[in-house]
Amino acid sequence: MGSRIDEATFLARARSRFGDRYDYGGIRYRSYRSPIQIRCREHPVAVIVITPERHLETMGGCRYCLREFRQIKAR
């Protein structure tokens, strides 16, 4: 079992990976596998509910960013 990921470590990793794309101002961090609420700054349509673990493993969680990425990749 790896070391525990605290809020500061998660935020550092997220900002390193995504820069300023997501707003983490309203998160209530409990654990690496407990859902948090974030917002995409490019598409602030809805709150994204995702675990910190999943957020770092995927494109971030914004379905609009993912859709744009897939359209660009398909060209």
- Report, as an integer, the average pLDDT of 7-15: 96
CA distances from residue 3 to 31, 33, 65 in whole angstroms, order as listed:
12, 13, 31
Tell me which of 49 and 69 has the higher pLDDT: 49
Give the model's pLDDT for residue 4.
Answer: 84
Question: Whole-model pTM?
Answer: 0.84
Give the bridge partners for 36, in sequence order: 50
- The residue ranges of every structural domain in the chain are 7-74
Amino acid at residue number 33: R
Percentage helix, strand, coil for the chain under 3-state DSSP, each rounded to 5: 40, 15, 45
